[in-house]
């Protein structure tokens, strides 16, 4: 039985009422799973230690997070990406961020010690955090610390990032690392935060050819997304032969997401998760650690991550959502939540440039394969 890691302490990672990276997203998801009669067994982790954080993050940065966490003023906080619009400071943020790192570490431990093959960390996925800087809602890199632990134990790790934003923090930490393959699918940085993730970012030194980026056109739809995914991911994994797959399962490529411009539906996500689980079995000896990530539409996110949790356990996908759940959360959020698990077939008006978008995405994927082939073979 796959395991799900979660602690009530995760709720402390909260940037405030109006901030999109809200812990309410977990509450909605767990409540939905419970109403569906499929509450996963939750495992409580420990927060990561300061020493574990320092395997990836720089001491001066960690010191500032700690000071701000205690409510002390830090004059140069903004130079470290802290106390900005995206990463406001709050009391206890050091420990709150360490809890999320601890969850991912616990997931990796379960897998490497043979307790479980497939684990979902119900939180985290803080892929923008940099060694010396907070960025894009991310304070400490749960992914970075965990992957570093895995490589120090000798594992070859494939990191797959389906968040709509480029996984820049993780890429940066492992840019020259030959034991880590990173693959990020995202909306092109030409338009979207954080601006990086172009095809030509291929890694450096021994890591050259191991950092793969697929920058997709704004308004890319599911079919084109899956086409590029199929073109790249199985080939890359088959070649790299990872011993474990780490997946950042951000849900913000959904068409209703308020922060980005891709047009995936819940049906695309179902197809995507089925592929990832299949690839884990075929190319990573069945070992996969999922984290959550971005995802800011309360109408979409609980459904997308419920699909992930249900598929992970091999549980059936319901057609309808429990009316009591829909009513309760609709009232609480003053929103009209959908009744069905899946988006309707025609969820949005046809995209005028759809053909052109698909053509450009194919071209980007071709260019990436051309650029990497001389490192792979």
Partner 1 sequence: MLVQDVMTKRVVTVSPAATLQEAYEIMQSGHIRHLPVVEEDRLAGVITDRDLRLATSLLAPAPFAPQARVGDVMNRTVLTSDALDPVEDAARTMREHKIGCLPVLEEGRLAGIVTGIDLLDALLKLTGVTAPSGRLELRLPDRPGELARLTGLVSERNVNIHSLLTYPEERECVRTVLRVNTIETRPLASALREAGFDVVWPPDKPCPA
For helices 93-112 and 59-69, the axis angle rounded to 10 degrees is 120
**Residue 346 binds partner 1, judged by CB under 8 A:** yes
Q: Among residue numbers 347 through 376, which ones bind partner 1 (CB under 8 A)?
A: 347-349, 351
**Residue 192 binds partner 1, judged by CB under 8 A:** yes
Nearest distance from residue 205's CB to partner 1, in Å?
20
Find, among 111, 73, 75, 67, the residue nearest to 92 by Cα: 67
Which residue in 26, 57, 128, 342 is the catalytic one?
Answer: 128
Residue 186 to residue 184: CA distance in whole angstroms = 6
Name which of 175 and 193 has its Cβ closer to partner 1.
193
Unique residue bearing structure tokens 């002390």: 72
Out of 23, 92, 132, 194, the only residue in the binding site for partner 1 (CB under 8 A) is 194
With CB under 8 A as the rule, give the number of residues binding partner 1: 34
Out of 6, 15, 61, 137, the only residue in the binding site for partner 1 (CB under 8 A) is 137
Residue 325 to residue 327: CA distance in whole angstroms = 5
Q: CA 332, 336, 342: angle at the middle one, nearest 5? A: 115
Q: Per-residue string for binding with partner 1, 1-40, x by CB under 8 A?
A: -------------------x--------------------
Residue 242 to residue 251: CA distance in whole angstroms = 24
- Among the listed ranges 50-58, 178-186, 343-351, 369-377, the one in contact with partner 1 (CB under 8 A) is 343-351
Name which of 6 and 185 has its Cβ closer to partner 1.
185
Find, among 368, 339, 350, 113, the residue nearest to 228 by Cα: 368
Nearest distance from residue 40's CB to partner 1, in Å?
29
Residue 146 to residue 101: CA distance in whole angstroms = 7
Name which of 106 and 256 has its Cβ closer to partner 1.
256
Say whether 128 is catalytic.
yes
- Among the listed ranges 23-31, 48-56, 60-68, 346-354, the one in contact with partner 1 (CB under 8 A) is 346-354
**Residue 211 binds partner 1, judged by CB under 8 A:** no
In the 8-state DSSP scheme, what is residue 77?
G
Name which of 138 and 150 has its Cβ closer to partner 1.
138
**Residue 66 binds partner 1, judged by CB under 8 A:** no
Q: Per-residue string for binding with partner 1, 73-92, x by CB under 8 A?
A: -----x--x--xxx------
Q: Are strands 180-187 and 42-43 parallel, antiparallel or unpaired?
A: unpaired
Residue 343 to residue 152: CA distance in whole angstroms = 42
Distances (CA, A) of 347 to 70, 197, 254, 264, 267: 46, 29, 11, 10, 11
Helical residues (DSSP H) of 291-347, grouped into ranges: 301-313, 323-333
- Chain positions contacting partner 1, by CB under 8 A: 20, 78, 81, 84-86, 128, 130, 135-137, 165, 168, 189-196, 218, 255-256, 258-261, 344, 346-349, 351
Point out the residues that are catalytic.
Answer: 128
């Amino acid at each position: 039985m796959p395991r799900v890691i979660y602690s009530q302490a995760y709720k402390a990672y909260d940037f405030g009422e109006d901030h999109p990276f809200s812990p309410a997203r977990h509450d909605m998801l767990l409540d939905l799973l419970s109403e569906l009669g499929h509450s996963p067994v939750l495992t409580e982790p420990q927060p990561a230690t300061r020493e574990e954080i320092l395997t990836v993050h720089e001491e001066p940065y960690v010191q500032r997070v700690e000071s701000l966490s205690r409510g002390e003023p830090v004059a140069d906080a903004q130079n470290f990406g802290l106390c900005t619009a995206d990463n406001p400071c709050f009391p206890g943020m050091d420990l709150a961020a360490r809890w999320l790192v601890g969850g991912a570490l616990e997931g990796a431990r379960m897998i490497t010690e043979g307790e479980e093959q497939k684990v979902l960390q119900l939180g985290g996925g803080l892929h923008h955090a940099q060694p010396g800087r907070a960025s894009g809602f991310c304070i400490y890199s749960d992914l970075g610390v965990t992957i570093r632990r895995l490589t120090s134990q000798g594992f070859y790790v494939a990191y797959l990032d389906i968040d709509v934003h480029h996984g820049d923090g993780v890429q940066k930490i492992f840019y020259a690392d030959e034991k880590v393959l990173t693959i990020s699918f995202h909306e092109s940085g030409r338009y979207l935060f954080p601006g990086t993730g172009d095809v030509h970012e291929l890694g450096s030194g021994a890591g050259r050819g191991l950092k793969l980026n697929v920058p997709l056109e704004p308004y890319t739809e599911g079919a084109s997304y899956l086409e590029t995914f199929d073109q790249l991911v199985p080939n890359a994994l088959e070649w790299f032969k990872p011993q474990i797959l780490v997946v950042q399962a951000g849900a913000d490529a959904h068409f209703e997401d308020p922060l980005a411009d891709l047009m995936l539906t819940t049906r695309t996500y179902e197809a995507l998760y089925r592929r990832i689980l299949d690839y884990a079995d075929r190319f990573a000896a069945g070992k996969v650690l999922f984290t959550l990530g971005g995802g800011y539409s309360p109408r979409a996110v609980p459904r997308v991550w419920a699909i992930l949790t249900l598929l992970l356990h091999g549980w059936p996908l319901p057609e309808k959502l429990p009316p009591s759940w829909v009513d309760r959360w609709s009232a609480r959020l003053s929103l009209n939540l959908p009744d069905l698990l899946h988006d309707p077939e025609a969820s949005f008006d046809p995209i005028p440039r759809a053909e052109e978008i698909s053509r450009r995405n194919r071209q980007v994927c071709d260019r990436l394969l051309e650029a990497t082939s001389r490192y792979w073979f």
